[in-house]
Structure 1
Amino acid sequence: MADQRRNLYFYYPPSEETDEKLKPVKDLANENNFTIVEDDKDANIIISVGGDGTFLQAVRKTGFRQDCLYLGIRQGEEAGLYCDFELDNYEQMVTSMLNDEIEVRRFPLIEATVNDESTFLCLNECSVRSSLIKTIDIDVNIDDLEFERFRGDGLIVSTPTGSTGYSKSTKGAVVDPLLPSMQVSELASLNNNRFRTLGSSFILSGERKLRLGVRQDGNDFPIVGMDNEAYSIRNIKDIEVAISDKVIKTVKLKGNSYWHRVQRTFL
């Protein structure tokens, strides 16, 4: 691996057990001229240790950095669609990095702008859900088209890699990450003589803009989920979602495609 990719930062929830398991990993990295840094700002490779949830947190907590690579190591039986390496087989990771047996893949991000003010990046999905024991009304607009008025528990807008998470649990499609796109999935929509929605997930090109208008009927304090974090934002009236021009660059083993990992996880 190129010399400029030698500063490693390990991200994981505080754990004495993980600290102990990482000692031989760090020793092997140091022996092979990698440098372990204590501040993620000094790193050019950020390594998450855990499952997909930890990987999402690593990306979010380090600011969706565009100038470094992210690498995922999973522990035990944790889900690892973002993670190509296993902690119990750490020698493979270091050997692969030294021998250029890895590739860099780029995952699309979505940008969610709330009330034309605050913009958030998401690697998995942005979700809008009712915070009350009642349905939420959302006007769904695609570009300049007033597409539908949704009434139900909420909506999920996912990236291609996020399509295997929350979106899939609502019967959404699994989308190839080579397609820069976003998928909109419904949560318990009402469909009757008075209210009507498409009733299925739909996929939008990366060139589209999606606007979700939250109708102010007492549900103006919905739960907005950005990946695996919930945000408390009052008086939400409008959320605009689009594919970002930013991507997350991750390290993968050669011959281990996204579809290989989907196959291992679900089939």
Structure 2
Amino acid sequence: MAERSNLYFYYKKDDELEKKLQPLFELARENGFDIVDHADKANIIISVGGDGMFLQAVRKTGFRQDCLYTGITRAEGEAGLYCDFNLERFDEMVHSMMHEELEVRRFPVIETNVNNNTSFYCLNEVSIRSSLIKTITMDVYIDDLHFETFQGDGLIVSTPTGSTAYNKSINGAVVDPKLPCFQVSELASLNNNRYRTLGSSFILGAERTLALQITQDGNDHPIIGLDNEALPIRNVHDVTVKLSDKLIKTIKLKNNSYWERVKRTFL
């Protein structure tokens, strides 16, 4: 791992965590790694604080394609689908990187475009929800096909790794991250004589484009969630989602597959 010797730690700073990290920094330096003060200088970015912090680390460092990401949970036994390591056993990660007892997994990313303007990327999901105490109405297009007119609380579009998060909580399917696809799930849809939806989650392949046109009925400032952040955009007319060419590369311990992590977390 000589070509990947610069480490950047992404975490929410507090005195207790700083104290715990100092001996880990020393351990890394003793094994030939440099601790850098900016993510741009790193070729391995390490988040400390669980899956939420991992998502923030990827987002705040720009979904970099030229480095590896890895995550560390703070508490022993804390579940983490993106985190292979624990703060109390940091030496395992250093040993793995030094002796190449690791593999690289690649997680798909979805690209979201709002009002044909700036693109945003998500590792977990993008959600479009009503910001008022009323339903939101959207015309749903798959490629150029008008598929349905949705009325309800909102829609969630998730990546395969994001399928175990918000999507799973509303009975969406858990998807293998080796499948290049994304999933669409409904939040409290209304089905009546005027509005009719599929009523279940559906999965779209890598070449598909999902387009959502927001009905301008006063609910044109929906809450758009990108992973664990909200997007402050008013007057939303349309949202387009597709699978990005970007892939997030993470360090994977051997004998710790995605499905082993799912089993450990949920079963």
Displacement of 1:79 in angstroms is 2.9
SS in 2 for 1:8: strand
Query: 1:64 maps to which residue?
Result: 63
Give the counterpart letter for 1:43 in structure 2.
Answer: A
SS in 2 for 1:224: strand
Is contact 1:9–1:47 with CA below 8 Å preserved after alignment? yes
Query: 2:11 maps to which residue?
Result: 12
- Distance in 2 (alpha carbons) for counterparts of 1:15 and 1:152: 41
Displacement of 1:73 in angstroms is 0.5
Query: 2:189 maps to which residue?
Result: 189
What is the CA deviation profile of residues 31-56 of structure 1, one whole-angstrom value per residue up to 9, with x for unaligned ones? 01100001111000000001100000
Query: 2:238 maps to which residue?
Result: 238
What is the CA deviation profile of residues 160-198 of structure 1, one whole-angstrom value per residue up to 9, with x for unaligned ones? 000000000010000000001000000010012322111
Displacement of 1:23 in angstroms is 1.2
SS in 2 for 1:27: helix
- Within 5 Å, give how 1:200-215 maps onto structure 2: 200-215=200-215
Query: 1:225 maps to which residue?
Result: 225
- Distance in 1 (alpha carbons) for counterparts of 2:211 and 2:247: 21
Query: Does 1:27 find its partner at 2:3?
Result: no
SS in 1 for 2:100: coil
Query: 1:115 maps to which residue?
Result: 115
Displacement of 1:78 in angstroms is 3.5
- Distance in 2 (alpha carbons) for counterparts of 1:199 and 1:186: 7
- Distance in 1 (alpha carbons) for counterparts of 2:25 and 2:102: 19
Query: 2:175 maps to which residue?
Result: 175
SS in 2 for 1:242: strand
- Distance in 2 (alpha carbons) for counterparts of 1:232 and 1:33: 43
Is contact 1:124–1:162 with CA below 8 Å preserved after alignment? yes
- Distance in 1 (alpha carbons) for counterparts of 2:20 and 2:189: 46
- Distance in 1 (alpha carbons) for counterparts of 2:252 and 2:26: 22
Give the counterpart letter for 1:32 in structure 2.
Answer: N
Identity among equivalent positions (%) equals 68
- Within 5 Å, give how 1:40-119 maps onto structure 2: 40-76=39-75, 77-119=77-119
Give the counterpart letter for 2:212 in structure 1.
Answer: L
The farther-off stretch of 73-82 and 209-218 is 73-82
- Distance in 1 (alpha carbons) for counterparts of 2:241 and 2:114: 9
- Distance in 1 (alpha carbons) for counterparts of 2:128 and 2:78: 27
- Distance in 1 (alpha carbons) for counterparts of 2:91 and 2:42: 21
- Distance in 2 (alpha carbons) for counterparts of 1:253 and 1:31: 22
| TM-score for both structures, normalised by structure 2 | 0.98
What is the CA deviation profile of residues 109-130 of structure 1, one whole-angstrom value per residue up to 9, with x for unaligned ones? 0000111111000000000000
| TM-score for both structures, normalised by structure 1 | 0.98
SS in 2 for 1:179: coil
SS in 2 for 1:55: helix
Aligned residues: 266
Is contact 1:50–1:78 with CA below 8 Å preserved after alignment? no
Displacement of 1:83 in angstroms is 0.2
Runs of 4+ in 1 over 6 A off after TM superposition: none
Query: Does 1:130 find its partner at 2:117?
Result: no
Displacement of 1:150 in angstroms is 0.2
- Distance in 1 (alpha carbons) for counterparts of 2:185 and 2:20: 39
